C-alpha cells in the first residue's frame, strides 16, 4: 500500500515538473489562451459557489433555532469565514448575494439564475431596481448578452423612459433654462451665477445677454434664431457631404472596388460639430467612443452623416444588442433624417480624437 502511495506521489511530482517545463515552451498566444480558459473556469466556479450561500445561510439559521450550528460543526464561525476561506469572497460580496436572494424570492427566473450560478451577482445587482415578475425573462436575456457597463447604461435608460428616476426641473434643468431677469438685484446675481455654472458662458457674453434683457430684448427669440440657423447650416453641409460620398461610392463601384469602411474626416467633423464629443443619447454625458451607423453601412455602402451618431461604449453595445435594447435608444434620439432599421453589427467607426477604428 505504501509503495502505491509513493508511486502516485512520484508520478504527481513528475507531472507537475513536466507542466512547468511545458509552460516555458508555450508561445505567448498559447499561454494567453490557457489563462483565459482557467480564468473563465475560476469565475464560473465562483458563481456556482456564491449561488450556494443562501442555502448555507438558511441551514445555519435552522440549526441555530435548535441550539446547534451547521457552520461550527464544520470548523467555521460564520458564513463570512466560510465564504472567505473556501472561495476568497469578501463580506460585501456575501451580503450582496444574500440580499439579492431575498429580493428575488417572488421572481423565480432571476432567483434561479442566482442560486444556480448562471450569472454573476454583480450583474443581477444592476437590474434589481427595475426587476418585476413581468419583465424578469427579458432582463435575464439582457444580463446574459450585455457587458456590465452596457447593462448599467440600459438600466439607467429604462428608468428614464419609465419615469423611475427623479428628474431636475426648473432652474436646475439645463434644457429649460431661460434668462429671466428679476427685479430684485439678489435674484439677478443668482441668475448670473446659474448661467456661469450651467452654461459656462464667458463674462463678456453673459454681460451682453443680461444687458440686452434689461433693455427689453427677447433673449429666447435671439437664441432660437441662432439655433435654427445653426441647424440649417449643418443640414446643408451634411447634404453636400452626402452627395460627395455617393459619388465616391459609385466611382469605386464602376471600377469594381469595394466601398471603403473608413469614415472620412469631413464626415466625422460635421458629426462632432453637431453632437460634440459626448454621447448623443439625451441625458448621457459619457465620452463618445464610437460613431454608430443607424442605417447600416451594408445597406447603401455610404457614410451618411445624417445617420451617424456618436455613442459611448455602453450605448453603442446596446445599439447592437437587439431590437428591444435598440428601441430604447432610438426612441430617445432626436433624428431629423428618416429613421432606418440598423442591420449591421460591424460598424465600429470611432470619432476623430480617438485611436483609429478597429
Q: Domain for residue 167, yes or no?
A: no
CA distance 37 to 40: 5
Statement to judge: residues 41 and 105 lie in one domain? yes
- Of the three residues 218, 243, 276, the one that is the final residue of a domain is 218
Rounded Cα gap, residues 217 and 237, in angstroms: 31
pLDDT band at 148 (very low <50, low <70, confident <90, very high): confident
Q: Are residues 204 and 231 in the same domain?
A: no
Under DSSP, the state recorded for 349 is B
Q: Is 309 helix (H, G, I), strand (E, B) or coil?
A: strand
Give the mean pLDDT of 186-190. Answer: 45
Q: Which three cell numbers stand for residue 322?
A: 437587439
Q: What percent of the chain has pLDDT over 70?
A: 74
What's the Cα-to-Cα distance from 46 to each of 40, 52, 306, rounded to whole Å? 10, 10, 47
Final residue in a domain of this structure, among 218, 252, 275:
218
Lowest mean pLDDT among 52-56, 111-115, 150-154, 182-186: 182-186
Residues 257 and 193 placed together within one structural domain of the fold: no
Helix (H) or strand (E) run with residue 291 in it: strand 290-293
Q: Is the per-residue pLDDT at 161 higher than 60?
A: yes
Task: Calculate the average pLDDT of the chain.
Answer: 78
Q: Are residues 309 and 194 in the same domain?
A: no
User: Does the residue 3 lie in any domain?
Assistant: no
Range of the structural domain that residue 197 is part of = 176-218
If asked whether residues 285 and 198 sit together in one domain, one would say no
What pLDDT, in 10s, does the model give residues 271-322? 999 998 899 888 888 899 888 988 878 777 888 888 889 999 888 888 887 5
The neighbouring-strand residues paired with 290 are 311
Q: Using pLDDT thresholds of 50, 70 and 90, give the confidence band for residue 9.
A: low
Domain finish residue from 190, 218, 246: 218
* C-alpha dist (Å) from residue 266 to 193, 238, 246, 258, 351: 37, 10, 14, 20, 11
Q: Do 213 and 230 share a domain, yes or no?
A: no
Indicate the number of domains in the chain.
3
Looking at the structure, do residues 73 and 184 belong to the same domain, yes or no?
A: no
Share of the chain above pLDDT 90, in %: 39
**Sequence-distant (≥ 6) Cβ neighbours of residue 280 within 8 angstroms:** 288, 309, 310, 311, 333
121, 232: one domain: no
**Chain-centre distance of CA 60, in angstroms?**
38
3-class SS of residue 169 = coil
Q: How many residues does the chain have?
A: 358
8 Å CB contact between 20 and 14: no
What's residue 175's pLDDT?
A: 31
- One domain for residues 141 and 25: yes
Looking at 121-125, 253-257, 295-299, which range is the least confident one? 295-299
Amino acid at each position: 500500500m505504501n509503495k502505491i502511495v509513493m508511486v502516485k506521489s512520484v508520478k504527481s511530482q513528475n507531472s507537475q515538473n513536466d507542466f512547468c517545463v511545458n509552460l516555458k515552451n508555450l508561445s505567448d498566444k498559447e499561454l494567453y489562451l490557457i489563462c483565459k480558459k482557467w480564468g473563465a473556469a475560476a469565475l464560473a466556479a465562483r458563481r456556482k459557489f456564491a449561488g450556494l450561500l443562501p442555502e448555507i445561510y438558511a441551514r445555519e439559521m435552522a440549526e441555530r433555532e435548535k441550539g446547534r450550528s451547521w457552520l461550527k460543526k464544520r470548523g467555521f464561525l460564520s458564513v463570512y469565514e466560510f465564504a472567505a476561506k473556501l472561495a476568497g469572497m469578501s463580506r460585501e460580496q456575501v451580503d450582496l448575494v444574500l440580499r439579492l436572494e431575498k429580493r428575488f424570492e417572488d421572481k423565480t427566473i432571476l432567483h434561479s439564475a442566482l442560486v444556480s450560478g448562471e450569472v454573476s451577482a454583480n450583474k443581477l445587482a444592476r437590474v434589481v431596481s427595475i426587476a418585476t415578475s413581468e419583465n424578469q425573462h427579458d432582463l435575464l436575456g439582457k444580463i446574459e448578452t450585455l457587458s456590465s457597463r452596457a447593462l448599467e447604461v440600459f438600466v439607467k435608460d429604462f428608468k428614464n423612459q419609465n419615469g423611475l428616476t427623479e428628474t431636475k426641473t426648473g432652474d436646475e434643468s439645463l434644457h429649460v433654462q431661460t434668462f429671466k431677469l428679476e427685479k430684485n438685484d439678489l435674484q439677478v446675481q443668482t441668475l448670473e451665477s446659474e448661467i456661469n455654472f450651467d452654461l459656462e458662458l464667458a463674462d463678456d457674453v453673459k454681460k451682453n445677454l443680461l444687458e440686452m434683457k434689461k433693455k427689453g430684448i427677447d433673449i429666447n427669440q435671439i437664441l432660437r434664431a441662432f439655433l435654427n440657423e445653426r441647424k440649417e447650416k449643418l443640414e446643408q453641409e451634411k447634404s453636400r457631404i452626402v452627395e460627395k460620398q455617393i459619388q465616391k461610392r459609385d466611382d469605386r463601384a464602376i471600377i469594381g472596388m469595394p466601398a471603403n469602411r473608413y469614415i472620412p474626416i469631413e464626415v466625422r467633423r460635421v458629426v462632432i460639430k453637431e453632437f460634440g464629443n459626448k454621447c448623443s443619447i439625451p441625458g448621457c454625458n459619457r465620452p463618445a467612443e464610437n460613431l454608430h451607423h443607424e442605417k447600416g453601412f451594408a445597406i447603401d455602402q455610404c457614410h451618411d452623416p445624417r445617420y451617424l451618431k456618436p455613442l459611448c461604449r455602453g450605448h453603442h453595445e446596446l445599439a447592437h444588442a437587439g431590437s428591444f435594447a435598440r428601441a430604447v435608444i432610438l426612441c430617445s434620439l432626436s433624428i431629423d433624417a428618416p429613421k432606418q432599421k440598423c442591420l449591421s453589427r460591424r460598424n465600429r467607426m470611432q470619432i476623430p480624437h480617438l485611436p483609429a477604428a478597429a
